[in-house]
């Protein structure tokens, strides 16, 4: 389930991009889960036409996934619509996705921009768009050139074929298998249903990233090559050609393509982890750390980076001081940096990013606690986080070697703001009724923290919109207002890094 | 009347309780506040490019066919009625293209119930806009350019070397447009009238 401010933020993004009508429909789905069309119409009291158009826009931009689900008893099914919260939030990071492509495959940046702007397009539409944007006097790129640049994106998994528009999914079938667990948390099931729908709709990897085939357009060439063959094989060859041509036509005219957000988020995750650890690296290890990331291959999952040793060596050699490093030295440094040899391929090294992500999350929260409540609070909070189990007040005082009054005051502040919780334990042993308190970190403190992050992002967006309105009205301080707006957008861009971090990327 | 310390002798109140009656003040969405000094790092070249890209995206969607209006569809022919100011205003606003021009409305792409009865395949010879062109309002462009020149002299001194060196790499589009995304991203760090006084650091997420 998405938190309150998360929903408000998502609705604000959709409202800015697609208007209030679409945002109402989106908000309804985010708050109530997957709903059929009639239910949305009923709840929002809008016309079916308005709701349909809104859903079309949301599906086009990958913010909603439809699925067919049984309704009531019998064979009846109904189409349900499920909002995709992550994809909605990704919309404020499109500029970051573009910068990833700019660094990796700059010649394909314009194609990606088209897909991000329009959500989903066929290859034909992309070609039409590319040609229409060519400035007068410039050379128009050939269709072949565009196809080549496009296939580069597909090969690198930056772009994928769109998922099925209306797959069949029966949530009850899955629930039965988990009914043996008596205390099934509804929150967990709700989360997994969302993910299950998305997985059901996804195509297989082979299909998702199947490039647009290149067909020889010159028919005479094909005929020449079959001159010497027997009549039967010639016919078969022609049939194959027709099939291939058909596939190519379908891939160009009919298949809808979209940006693969997973891949972009993973690239940003790698960059974040690489940059995060840099300040803590020992002198002389920077080139090896950088080379490791530069040499990474297509990843198998979204949690680790794999690089072959040859690639790493090659890149280290290109860096300053790299040529003097021996293989032994490099291998040792890599292991110190938690890049371990892969079990599948001893010549490759794997780095698990989730540890860096988790450590960064803790650092962020601790840093905030330190700024807001002081160093004492930071010490206590860190102690409770690291320890994990409830701790008695006296033990906290002894371990942190802080003054009793300071500890009491700090614990109270943290309690008030819902970072920690307490339990009163009565000890009836002996003569007196002893009571003491135990303290522990609230297990929902991360969710609260994320909710606060969403709230901050929402506030920033509202501020930007407010200034945009002022600019529209026109004022003498146009330049100053624009500067303020840019500062706020910069703040939002940087703040979004924290949002990504706390969503685990 | 004996006041209880805080009161200012307001006289006899029957409840004998409160000293500060509720005052209705108008709600301010964005009250002016003094913000802390901006000590965080300046925008890098990459970040400036990201801001330009963000503004371009937002501008595109706002003017695209995907941004649905909440208004009721067009009124019937009302020649006899007096033309209202709002009608005139609506006419000058640029028309949005049809959603069906860009969406491939087939059951292979969208749920069947959403594409039933929709017009399939718009006249394919209709040229689509794809991106709102920069040639719509040339005069405003000139005005903006003039303004930029005036400010430009002041700004280039402050913003310094890094911007000059990377100017060519940074500029994505040579075409001038009246929209936000084409203005120079300059941060008026030194002349920020938000920072009136020095204050203790506010919390911010690192």
A230 assigned to some structural domain: no
Is the pLDDT at B3 greater than 60, yes or no? no
Mean pLDDT of A170-179: 61
Mean pLDDT of the residues in chain A: 87
Q: Picking from A460-469, B41-50, B153-162, which range would have the lowest pLDDT averaged per residue?
A: B153-162
**In terms of domains, do A41 and A154 share one?**
no
**In terms of domains, do A380 and A489 share one?**
no
Question: In angstroms, what separates the C-alpha of A104 from chain B's closest C-alpha?
Answer: 14
**In terms of domains, do A255 and A111 share one?**
yes
Is the pLDDT at A174 greater than 70, yes or no? no
Cβ separation of B50 and A96 shorter than 8 Å? yes
**In terms of domains, do A45 and A150 share one?**
no
B52 assigned to some structural domain: yes
Measure the CA–CA gap between A471 and A80, rounded to whole angstroms. Answer: 41
Are A54 and A20 in contact, with CB atoms under 8 Å apart? no
* Maximal CA-CA distance, chain A: 108
Q: Among B60, B66, B101, B132, which would you mutate to test the A interface (most chain A Cβ atoms within 10 Å of its Cβ)?
A: B66
B44 assigned to some structural domain: yes
- Of these ranges, A113-117, A344-348, A362-366, A371-375, the one predicted with the greatest mean pLDDT is A113-117
Structural domain boundaries, residue B50: 39-70
- Of A346, A313, A347, the C-alpha closest to A330 is A313
User: For residue A175, what pLDDT band results from cuts at 50, 70 and 90?
Assistant: low
Is the pLDDT at B1 greater than 60, yes or no? no
Are A311 and A345 in contact, with CB atoms under 8 Å apart? no
**In terms of domains, do A290 and A438 share one?**
no
Mean pLDDT of A366-389: 87
Higher-confidence position of B13 and A389: A389
Cβ separation of B109 and A162 shorter than 8 Å? yes
Cβ separation of B46 and A490 shorter than 8 Å? no
- Of A65, A215, A146, the C-alpha closest to B109 is A65
Mean pLDDT of B120-149: 54
Please provide the DSSP assignment of B165-187 as one string.
HHHHHH----S--SSGGGS----
Say if strands A420-427 and A434-441 run parallel, antiparallel, or are unpaired: antiparallel
**In terms of domains, do A330 and A378 share one?**
no
Identity of the residue in A21, A60, A494 whose CB atom sits nearest the CB atom of B103: A60
B56 assigned to some structural domain: yes
**In terms of domains, do A26 and A123 share one?**
no
**In terms of domains, do A159 and A246 share one?**
yes
- Of A259, A254, A250, the C-alpha closest to A119 is A259
A134 assigned to some structural domain: yes
Q: What is the predicted pLDDT for the residue at A260? A: 96
Higher-confidence position of A328 and A299: A328
B76 assigned to some structural domain: no
State pLDDT tens for residues B21-72.
Answer: 777 777 777 777 776 777 677 888 999 999 999 999 999 999 999 999 876 5
Is the pLDDT at A472 greater than 50, yes or no? yes
Q: What is the predicted pLDDT for the residue at B80? A: 55
DSSP lists the bridge partners of residue A420 as A441
State pTM to two decimals. 0.79
B117 assigned to some structural domain: no
Last residue of a domain, which of A298, A320, A355?
A355
Mean pLDDT of A432-440: 82
* Maximal CA-CA distance, chain B: 88
State pLDDT tens for residues A250-273.
Answer: 888 889 999 999 999 999 999 999
| ipTM associated with this complex | 0.86
**Total domains, chain A:** 5
Q: What is the predicted pLDDT for the residue at B19? A: 65
Measure the CA–CA gap between A389 and A73, rounded to whole angstroms. Answer: 48
Q: What is the predicted pLDDT for the residue at B2? A: 54
User: For residue A376, what pLDDT band results from cuts at 50, 70 and 90?
Assistant: confident
Last residue of a domain, which of A58, A86, A114?
A86
Are B21 and A63 in contact, with CB atoms under 8 Å apart? no
**Total domains, chain B:** 1
Cβ separation of A132 and B127 shorter than 8 Å? yes
Q: Among B109, B146, B151, B191, which would you mutate to test the A interface (most chain A Cβ atoms within 10 Å of its Cβ)?
A: B109
Share of chain A above pLDDT 90, in %: 44
Measure the CA–CA gap between A127 and A115, rounded to whole angstroms. Answer: 12
B186 assigned to some structural domain: no
Structural domain boundaries, residue A493: 446-504
A222 assigned to some structural domain: no
Are B165 and B159 in contact, with CB atoms under 8 Å apart? no
B192 assigned to some structural domain: no
Measuring CA to CA, how many Å separate B86 from each of A21, A180, A274, A314, A441? 21, 64, 55, 67, 58
Q: How many helices (H) and strands (E) does chain B have?
A: 6, 0
A346 assigned to some structural domain: yes
Share of chain B above pLDDT 70, in %: 34
Is the pLDDT at A170 greater than 90, yes or no? no
State pLDDT tens for residues B88-116.
Answer: 555 555 677 888 889 999 999 999 999 98
Is the pLDDT at B83 greater than 80, yes or no? no
Measuring CA to CA, how many Å separate A122 from each of A127, A246, A254, B86? 9, 15, 6, 39
**In terms of domains, do A328 and A457 share one?**
no
Is the pLDDT at A411 greater than 50, yes or no? yes
Mean pLDDT of A474-488: 87
Cβ separation of B62 and A16 shorter than 8 Å? yes
Is the pLDDT at B164 greater than 50, yes or no? no
A488 assigned to some structural domain: yes
Are A87 and A216 in contact, with CB atoms under 8 Å apart? no
A267 assigned to some structural domain: yes
State pLDDT tens for residues A12-62.
Answer: 999 999 999 999 999 999 999 999 999 999 999 999 999 999 999 999 999
B61 assigned to some structural domain: yes
Question: In angstroms, what separates the C-alpha of A480 from chain B's closest C-alpha?
Answer: 8
Cβ separation of B109 and A16 shorter than 8 Å? no
Identity of the residue in B51, B67, B110 whose CB atom sits nearest the CB atom of A489: B51
**In terms of domains, do A340 and A436 share one?**
no
**In terms of domains, do A288 and A246 share one?**
no
Higher-confidence position of B4 and A300: A300
**In terms of domains, do A255 and A268 share one?**
no
Q: How many helices (H) and strands (E) does chain A have?
A: 24, 11
CATH of the domain at A147: 1.10.10.10
- Of A281, A331, A282, A339, the C-alpha closest to A305 is A339
Last residue of a domain, which of A57, A86, A115?
A86
């Amino acid at each position: 389930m998405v938190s309150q401010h998360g929903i408000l933020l998502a609705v604000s993004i959709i409202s800015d991009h697609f208007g209030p009508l679409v945002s109402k429909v989106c908000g309804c789905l985010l708050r109530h889960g997957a709903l059929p069309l009639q239910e949305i119409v009923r709840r929002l009291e809008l016309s079916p036409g308005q709701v349909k158009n809104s859903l079309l826009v949301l599906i086009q931009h990958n913010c909603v996934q439809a699925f067919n689900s049984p309704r009531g008893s019998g064979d009846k099914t109904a189409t349900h619509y499920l909002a995709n919260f992550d994809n909605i939030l990704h919309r404020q990071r499109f500029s970051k996705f573009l910068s990833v492509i700019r660094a990796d495959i700059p010649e394909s940046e314009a194609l990606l921009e088209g897909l991000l702007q329009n959500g989903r397009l066929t290859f034909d539409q992309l070609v039409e768009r590319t040609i229409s944007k060519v400035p007068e006097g410039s050379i128009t790129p050939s269709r072949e050139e565009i196809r080549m640049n496009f296939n580069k994106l597909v090969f690198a998994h930056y772009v994928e074929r769109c998922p099925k528009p209306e797959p069949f999914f029966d949530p009850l079938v899955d629930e039965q298998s988990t009914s043996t667990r008596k205390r099934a948390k509804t929150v967990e099931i709700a989360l997994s249903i969302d993910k299950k729908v998305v997985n059901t709709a996804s195509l297989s990897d082979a299909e998702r990233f199947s490039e647009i085939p290149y067909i020889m357009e010159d028919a005479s060439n094909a005929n020449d090559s079959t001159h010497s063959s027997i009549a039967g094989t010639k016919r078969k060859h022609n049939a194959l050609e027709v099939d291939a041509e058909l596939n190519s036509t379908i891939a160009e005219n009919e298949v809808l393509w979209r940006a693969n957000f997973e891949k972009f988020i993973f690239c940003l995750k790698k960059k974040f982890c690489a940059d995060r650890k840099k300040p803590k690296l020992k002198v002389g290890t920077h080139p090896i750390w950088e080379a490791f990331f530069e040499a990474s291959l297509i990843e198998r999952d979204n949690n680790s980076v794999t690089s072959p040793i040859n690639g790493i060596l090659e890149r280290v050699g290109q860096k300053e001081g790299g040529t003097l490093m021996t293989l032994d030295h490099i291998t040792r440094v890599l292991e110190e940096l938690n890049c371990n040899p892969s079990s599948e391929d001893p010549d490759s090294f794997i780095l698990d990013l989730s540890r860096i992500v988790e450590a960064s999350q803790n650092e962020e929260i601790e840093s905030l606690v330190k700024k807001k409540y002081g160093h004492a609070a930071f010490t206590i909070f860190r102690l409770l986080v690291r320890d994990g189990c409830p701790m008695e007040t006296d033990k906290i005082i002894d371990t942190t070697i802080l003054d009793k009054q300071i500890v009491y005051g700090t614990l109270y502040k943290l309690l008030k703001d819902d970072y920690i919780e307490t339990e009163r334990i009565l000890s009836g042993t002996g003569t007196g009724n002893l009571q003491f308190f135990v303290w522990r970190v609230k297990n929902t403190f991360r969710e609260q923290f994320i909710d606060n992050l969403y709230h901050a992002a929402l506030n920033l967006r509202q501020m930007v919109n407010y200034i945009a309105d002022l600019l529209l009205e026109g004022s003498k301080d146009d330049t100053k207002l624009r500067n303020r707006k840019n500062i706020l957008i910069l703040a939002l861009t940087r703040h979004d890094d924290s949002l990504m971090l706390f969503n685990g990327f | 009347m004996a006041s209880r310390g805080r009161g200012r002798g307001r006289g006899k109140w029957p409840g004998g309780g409160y000293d500060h009656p509720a005052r209705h003040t108008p709600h301010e969405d964005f009250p002016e506040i003094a913000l802390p000094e901006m000590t965080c790092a300046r925008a890098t070249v990459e970040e400036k490019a990201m801001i330009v890209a963000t503004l371009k995206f937002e501008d595109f969607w706002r003017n695209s066919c995907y941004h649905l209006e909440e208004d009721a569809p067009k009124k019937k022919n009302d020649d006899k009625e007096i033309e209202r100011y709002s009608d005139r205003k609506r006419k000058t606003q640029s028309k949005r293209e049809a959603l069906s021009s860009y969406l491939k409305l087939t059951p292979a792409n969208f749920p069947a119930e959403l594409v039933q009865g929709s017009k399939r395949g718009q006249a394919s010879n209709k040229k689509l806009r794809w991106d709102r062109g920069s040639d719509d309002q040339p005069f405003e462009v000139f005005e903006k350019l003039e303004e930029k020149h005036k400010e430009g002299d002041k700004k280039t001194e402050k913003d310094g070397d890094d911007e000059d060196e990377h100017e060519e790499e940074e500029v994505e589009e040579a075409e001038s447009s009246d929209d936000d995304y084409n203005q120079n991203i300059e941060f008026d760090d030194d002349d920020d009238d938000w920072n009136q006084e020095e204050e203790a650091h506010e919390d911010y997420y690192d």
